Amino acid sequence: MDVKPFEGKLAFVTGAARGIGKAIALTLADRGARVVVIDQILDAASETANECGNGSVAMKLDVSDSSKVNNAVSEIVEQFGQIHILVNNAGINRDAMLHKMTDAQWSQVIAVDLSAVFYTCRAVGSHMREMKYGRIVNVASASWMGNIGQTNYAAAKGGVVSLTRSISKELAFKNVTANAICPGFIETDMTRAMPQHLYDAQLAKIPLKRVGQPNDVAKLVAFLASDDAAYLTGEVINIGGGYKL
Ligand SMILES: NC(=O)c1ccc[n+]([C@@H]2O[C@H](COP(=O)([O-])OP(=O)(O)OC[C@H]3O[C@@H](n4cnc5c(N)ncnc54)[C@H](O)[C@@H]3O)[C@@H](O)[C@H]2O)c1
């Protein structure tokens, strides 16, 4: 078995300062990739990049800013030559029941969880088309199927699923694959912030009887980013210990 399948490959991972994104960055790096660790929090992103090694670097970037994303991608291509793997992981939630959800809660989540995925896929996807190689993994959520208190988040993640299926069709003939993954309930700052009774209620819905760990998700991303997944594109894969909404 090739233990360093990503040697010589560059991975662009968003929201990689902590949580699932950090686990993805570390797993790809452990298998040989140089990682560009993208996040708004530069200190923590730099720590992730140091832990990754392989010449990995951190970059402070708000992925919901279209022109900054374009500039960052040009800068990375100029500096490193090629981007082989794009993982869109950055995400936020601003939960509220429909009748209480503000315009700001709606638009912030759509901006970070959906528009940003479009911006990075457009910028990096154009580069991958020319390169005739690429692996795109977009982190959606089990909530894309619809969830109470998450009108904004579910709509954004549902958008990520259909965006991914669309670009998989556009990019397949250029040897670029694009898949979406839907984590269930994973232990990170995002879920630790929940009230205990809601946390326990989610745990009770998981057939495998444990909350997922960021590494569980990272291993799936590493598979989808590898050449073992070369014939897999346009798929939407649940990773939640059997959890389904
Ligand atoms: N934790 C879960 O149970 C769960 C379940 C399903 C899906 N997800 C998805 O997985 C992804 C990671 O979630 P997590 O739980 O690790 O969250 P997290 O809050 O622990 O980490 C998210 C990271 O994204 C960064 N980020 C947020 N907005 C950004 C922006 N505009 N530009 C750049 N970086 C930004 C944050 O700084 C942070 O480092 C998200 O897309 C989330 O929706 C999480």
Alpha-carbon span 107 to 78, nearest angstrom = 33
Asked if residues 216 and 159 have their Cβ atoms less than 8 Å apart, the reply is no
Coil, helix or strand for 13? strand
| pLDDT at 237 exceeding the cut of 80 | yes
Position 146 in a domain: yes
Position 87 in a domain: yes
Nearest CA to ligand 1 atom 36: 15
Does residue 17's CB lie within 6 angstroms of at least one atom of ligand 1? yes
Position 93 in a domain: yes
Find the 230 Cα to ligand 1 centroid distance in Å: 26
| pLDDT at 221 exceeding the cut of 70 | yes
* Ligand 1 nearest-atom number relative to CA 44: 39
Does residue 183's CB lie within 6 angstroms of at least one atom of ligand 1? yes
Q: What is the domain-level CATH number for residue 119?
A: 3.40.50.720
Does residue 145's CB lie within 6 angstroms of at least one atom of ligand 1? no
pLDDT digits (tens, 9 = 90+) for 89-130: 999 999 999 999 999 999 999 999 999 999 999 999 999 999
| pLDDT at 244 exceeding the cut of 90 | no
Position 162 in a domain: yes
Position 150 in a domain: yes
* Ligand 1 nearest-atom number relative to CA 112: 31
Position 196 in a domain: no
Domains contained in the chain, number: 1
Structure tokens belonging to residue 176: 């670029």
Mean pLDDT over residues 156-182, rounded?
A: 98
pLDDT band at 245 (very low <50, low <70, confident <90, very high): confident
Asked if residues 54 and 34 have their Cβ atoms less than 8 Å apart, the reply is yes
Does residue 92's CB lie within 6 angstroms of at least one atom of ligand 1? yes
pLDDT digits (tens, 9 = 90+) for 122-154: 999 999 999 999 999 999 999 999 999 999 999
Position 45 in a domain: yes
| pLDDT at 175 exceeding the cut of 70 | yes
Comparing CA positions, the residue from 140, 241, 120, 231 lying closest to residue 181 is: 140
- Asked if 153 is an active-site residue, the reply is yes
How confident is the model at residue 1, as a pLDDT?
A: 63
Does residue 90's CB lie within 6 angstroms of at least one atom of ligand 1? yes
* Residue span of the structural domain in which 177 resides: 10-186+214-233
Position 203 in a domain: no
What is the Rg, in whole angstroms, of the alpha carbon atoms belonging to the chain? 17
Nearest CA to ligand 1 atom 31: 62
Alpha-carbon span 114 to 226, nearest angstrom = 25
Q: What percent of the chain has pLDDT over 70?
A: 99
